[in-house]
Amino acid sequence: MHIALQACSARHPSAQAEAPPALKAIDLVLAQGGQVAVIGPSGAGKTTLLHLMACALKPTQGQLLLDGRDPWALRTAELQRLRGQLCLAPQVPPLPPRQRVITA
């Protein structure tokens, strides 16, 4: 699947409404069959980015395209089918706040 984020901004689902976005104006293109590692400190927006790409979170600004289509323009049933082709595997149990993976 080809994934493109164009000037995407988003707020983590558990963030308060007045909190600044975890991602701001991100441009990213991932080619079909490609692999990518997402690394960074706690609170950097990694989980928010993954939620965006899995269609679990709608961008507050910008556009997400999966194979050239905007998933948020699809009918509900089509969006649900698309989500069935995607996988978001959260870290369980989550790390304590501000703890690094290497420490855990």
Got the DSSP string for 18-69? TSPPSEEEEEEEE-TT--------TTSSHHHHHHHHTTSS--SEEEEEETTB
* Tens digits of residue pLDDT in 77-88: 999 999 988 888
Domains by residue range for the chain, with CATH: 3-85 (3.40.50.300)
| 61 band by pLDDT with thresholds 50, 70 and 90 | very high
Are 27 and 6 within 8 A, CB to CB?
A: yes
CA atoms within 13 A on the CB side of 95: 12
Give this prediction's pTM. 0.80
Confidence of residue 4 (pLDDT cuts 50, 70, 90): very high
For residue 47, give the nearest of 82, 104, 89 by alpha carbon.
Answer: 89
Q: Mind listing the pLDDT tens digit for each residue in 11-46?
A: 987 888 788 899 999 999 999 988 888 888 878 889
